[in-house]
Structure 1
Amino acid sequence: MSAALSLSNEDWLAIEREYCARSLANFVREAWHVLEPGQPYIHGWHVDAICEHLEAITNGDLNRLLINIPPGTMKSTLTSVFWPAWEWGPKGLPHIRMIGASHEQGLAVRDTRKMRNLINSPWFQQRWPTALTSDQNQKTFYENEATGWRQACAVASMTGKRGDRVVWDDPHSVEAALSAAHRETALRVFQETLPTRLNNPDKSAIVIVMQRLHEADVSGFILEDDYGYEHLCLPMEFESDRRCTTSLGFTDPRTEDGELLFPQRFSRETVDRDKKVMGAMAVAGQFQQRPAPRGGGFFEWDKLEVVETPPKKLLQTIRYWDKAGTDGGGDWTAGVKMATGADGCFYVLDVIRDQVAASKRERIIRQTAEVDGLGVHTWIEQEGGSGGKESAENTIRSLAGYSAFSERPTGEKSARATPLSTQIEAGNVKLVRGAWNKDFIDELKTFPVGKHDDQVDAASGALNKLAVPVKSGLVLKRNRR
């Protein structure tokens, strides 16, 4: 006790500096009161896991890191506030240059401002004096006297400067992730912009931290191929068959299915309450870090019955095409053949699906019509714009002699698929056994956050046409004349 009392203030500061330098998690504990003076610090093992992987970047052991973790678990504060401040201060790396980006400018500015508040605080300055230059101390950009700097930007405007660290926090908003156009923009940024913003292509690091929102989001793109990213995935509730392990020797320490990630903050009562409000799709993506629920979300696919043969008497049969013009990748062209039976059920008779160029696609549609026969009405989904209209008209002309029609669908995909979902839930949709069954059901499981929705679009279109009163068939016959 007497030895402790003899320590000077400088001795205690030196001990604290050493304690903070030894680990990022230690620094977080000590610095928390600066950013959140009214909130007690609550530690969770996931903080150690994230910090361990960020430290590996600081030590040069990693330079690509993808973190999937639920909201509210300090992901932004750890990666975009504490970590860069730790490098500038306790680790003695004030020359590090960091770009902090998000899907919108405001979020990136928020964390940049928090870091500046921490750096400028008396607590930090007393331990690690770090002067910001007066002419480069702005809301979106500031520089220190060691030439290190921090920039905030929306990813779409990430131009000019090159950083030693690029942290992309939430590439997608929850709403925008369902937009194909937005996802394509984000993926283009990932492929074309991020690599060009690195100060040293060999050693500079990219960290992407996000929740899963769609199969084709940025995480999905990274995980589909080997882009050199270490993947730290920590769902809210543990799933033993998805236990996360990384090259650093980290393994998710939970052992029981359903065990919570951060019970100190998100108790069982809180998680169960929020799950009821959020719904299955949001829980799967935002909590569990997989875009779709295990049992499906939009469609109750387990209520589909697979039958060996359709009824002998079918009232009306339609083949509905969702066209794509991609050869060997991207979207699929899908043609779903569906009929109504005298029993009032809808029978999916056949699905043709392929990734082909436009010329081969048109041949497939014509050949399929020949096989289906004159009794099957063919519908073509018309894409937007003059190009979509012209493509549909060309297909109709190629189907001369058959009952062929086109339409430009209105409303969101989910709205158009709702009747199909309702009929599946009621047990009124049956699949005729075929090799296509698995791919068809797999797409239903992940809709509307799956990578592909071509079969769903075609099946929805077919059912919506079959559900129209029988008298509309007279209109079809008149249109053939």
Structure 2
Amino acid sequence: MLSRDSIIQEIQILEAIEKRKCERSLAEFVKLSWHIIEPSTKLIWNWHFDVICGYLEAVTSGKIKRLIINVPPGTAKSTLVSVCFPAWEWIHNPARRYLGITNEQGLALRDSLKAKTIIESQWFQSKWPIKFNPRQNEKILYQNVDTGFRQSLGITAGLTGKRGNCFAGNVKVLTETGLKYIKDVCIGESVWSINVLSGEKSLNKVRGTIRKKDCSVVEVFLNDGTSIECTPEHRFLTTTGMVRADELAVSTPLNVINVPDAYRIKTLITFDGKPLLVSRVIKSRHKVDTFCLDVANNHTLFVGKSKDSLIPVSNCLLLDDCHDSTQVESDLQRQTVLDAYDYKISTRLNDPDNDAIILIMQRLHFNDLTGHLLQKKHNKWVHVSIPMEYEGSQGFDAGRDIGRPELIYPRTKDGELLFPERFNRKTVNSLKEDLGEYGSSGQLQQRPVPKGGGILKEKWWLVWPDDKPLPMVEHLFCSWDTAYSEADLKNNAYSAMTMFGVFWHEQKQRYCLLMTKAWAGQVGFPDLRRKAKSIDEEEKLDCQLIEKKASGISLVQDLKQSGIKIRTYTPDRDKVARAYSVSSMLESGQVYIPNRKWAQKVIALVSQFPHGAPPSADFTDTITQALIYLRNSWWVSHKDDAINNDINDRHDEIAKQDIAWDMYEDELNIQRTNDRTAAYG
């Protein structure tokens, strides 16, 4: 029988082994800490857990700086990334700082508190005794004694819409050269600021200035006679934390900071070494313009509507399902999230070259945050995509990405499930039925366009053979979707054009359609007008087809005055309905494209409609408009098509002598032939 001392020694050895295993492996840490956060749920380990943990370990080692992981909902992605990973990293570096961001702050707060639960547990503390700073130990923002912290935010709460935390223009701020009215501070100047977590004071450059007109303000009076006008939601740094201006109580002491030269700043922090007390707060009867500064590498000057949206500089951004699945179809709501990332979130790293950003989410839209980031040219993102059902291709290469070839993709058969112990075939089929085709392709399969395309599928387009002479066309026209108003340009809208030729197909004994040119761009009216005129002069078009909407009327009138033949189109249904109305024409094999990269790109964009990024919808509009025009002009028809009487002109029997082929992206030299056809150079 082992003695008591031997048993204790054996336990200590086992605990040391367990500690070492956890330190070396995030996967082991997850397995051994699972009971703390999910005491009533048995852990069923799956191969994708190892993959995700392996990529996260590569973030810790510095091999990866930007990581995107797309996996279906319910597969423990938040538990791995937003709960266990930060707690595990604090073992190695307790000074690590995290900013956790989700589509709604409550979700970020949930995961942050779960991570804190692990850290505060007896199991964790017995191995890695990390202590929290009692001066900053709130749910939303907690800090340890090594200055590491975790803050939780909703991505749009306080980052979009009306901006708060602003001062009236007569408030002075402390700059490098002395006190200066905030309204007069310019980008590039240096201002004094403080890191509220560490107390460190420093001069930092102003990166941006924000001005809002006619704002309601409150006036805060202090016991030294100072009065400060600011927006009600502005936060003052008190001795007990940050407090809204309109919630400051009488006798509330403001924090006191000493800085070089003993400047006195009439703002949320004072510098003369004496405590200041709030004497009263009143709502101003007048409205004023307010100002706010965005300061580089700073933990104090913020832009937001509430304390929950204050954004400190961090070492790691954890972005977890930043889109609300119920609102992602709204262009406005989706763009709000993208703008929040581009203009605020992406700047919140202490060292952008070495710190990390991790995005984990289910795909919801072609132009969701994943799609948006992957389109960027100068940021290299490592992308891991793991669908619910195997579709014949791997979504990652761990050997190439992180030097871990043992993290293999185990599925080899089409339709093989990701996590059959949790999501069996019956469950998956039920989910697919509930989510529908688009929801399933995004949330389950991580490709937010159904396989083969959306409404107008890629496989329906026929490619004209390279070894076959191009057909003689009898009718040549352009179809336009215009966007050149101030609102269009502000929203990054595209104008788009596709050119089609109608020809008689001898084998099919019917008229068919060949796309001959395509263009899209973000231009104003003068450039768009010049484009339309130059195309008409070069091609001698039979007509140009333009939708009769607000942004198209001016172009119609201008081109008609120039003698150009215009036909207008007034749709009687929305974009999606128009796409469905012409889908049978495309499916029946009546529409051809040339075997060129630009054409492939155009149909790829069209296949993504209605979920594709611009100019997907713009090109789709030109094509549906063109097909409706031809169908109602009796050029091209299908027995299943309904007739739209907006365009009912019969075609003119006009043969075109030649066609110039304009490449959408990869332009080629043009050669013309004399046999009423055209050839590629």
Match of 1:137, as an amino acid? N
2:645 to 466, 469, 475: 469
Cα deviation for residue 250 of structure 1 reads 3.4
| SS of corresponding position for 1:279 | helix
Do the aligned residues in 2 keep the contact of 1:214 with 1:450 (CA within 8 Å)?
yes
Partner of 1:334: 497
1:231 to 368, 383, 388: 383
Distance 1:121 1:444 in 2: 53
Distance 1:338 1:7 in 2: 87
| SS of corresponding position for 1:207 | strand
Q: Which moved more, 1:200-209 or 1:270-279?
A: 270-279
Q: 1:372 to 1:261 in 2, by over 3 A?
A: same
Deviations 1:179-200 (A, max 9, x none): 4444444443443333421123
Q: Larger RCO: Structure 1 or Structure 2 (Cα < 8 Å, ≥ 6 residues apart)?
A: 1
> Which structure dedicates a bigger proportion of its chain to strand?
2
Identity of aligned residues (%): 32
Partner of 1:385: none
Per the normalisation by structure 1, the TM-score is: 0.80
Partner of 2:280: none
Do the aligned residues in 2 keep the contact of 1:310 with 1:432 (CA within 8 Å)?
no
Give the alignment of 1:18-417 within 5 angstroms: 18-88=20-90, 91-156=91-156, 157=159, 159-224=310-375, 225-246=377-398, 247-251=401-405, 252-258=408-414, 259-304=416-461, 319-324=478-483, 331=494, 333-335=496-498, 337=500, 347=513, 350-355=516-521, 357-358=523-524, 359-369=526-536, 376=543, 378-380=545-547, 382=549, 389=551, 392-400=553-561, 401-402=563-564, 404=566, 413-417=575-579
Distance 1:6 1:331 in 2: 76
Distance 2:510 2:153 in 1: 56
Do the aligned residues in 2 keep the contact of 1:336 with 1:458 (CA within 8 Å)?
no
Match of 2:64, as an amino acid? L
Partner of 2:582: 420
Distance 1:7 1:99 in 2: 43
Distance 2:648 2:141 in 1: 63
In angstroms, what is the RMSD of aligned CA positions? 3.8
Do the aligned residues in 1 keep the contact of 2:513 with 2:592 (CA within 8 Å)?
yes
Q: Which moved more, 1:212-221 or 1:2-11?
A: 2-11
Q: 1:469 to 1:139 in 2, by over 3 A?
A: same
- Structure 2 unmatched runs, 5+: 160-308, 465-469, 633-642, 651-681
Partner of 1:431: 591
Do the aligned residues in 2 keep the contact of 1:97 with 1:165 (CA within 8 Å)?
yes
Per the normalisation by structure 2, the TM-score is: 0.59
Q: 1:420 to 1:374 in 2, by over 3 A?
A: same
Q: 1:274 to 1:163 in 2, by over 3 A?
A: same
Match of 2:369, as an amino acid? V
Match of 2:610, as an amino acid? P
Q: 1:433 to 1:36 in 2, by over 3 A?
A: closer
Partner of 2:165: none
Do the aligned residues in 2 keep the contact of 1:318 with 1:379 (CA within 8 Å)?
no
Distance 2:381 2:575 in 1: 33
Distance 2:571 2:316 in 1: 45
| SS of corresponding position for 2:344 | helix
Cα deviation for residue 126 of structure 1 reads 4.1
Deviations 1:442-463 (A, max 9, x none): 2332222223322211222344
Residues matched between the structures, number: 459
Partner of 1:478: none
| SS of corresponding position for 2:620 | helix
Distance 2:380 2:462 in 1: 42
| SS of corresponding position for 1:114 | helix
| SS of corresponding position for 1:167 | strand
Partner of 1:477: none
Q: 1:405 to 1:53 in 2, by over 3 A?
A: same
Q: Which moved more, 1:363-372 or 1:67-76?
A: 363-372
Q: Which moved more, 1:23-32 or 1:262-271?
A: 262-271
Do the aligned residues in 2 keep the contact of 1:238 with 1:254 (CA within 8 Å)?
no
Larger radius of gyration: 2
> Which structure dedicates a bigger proportion of its chain to helix?
1
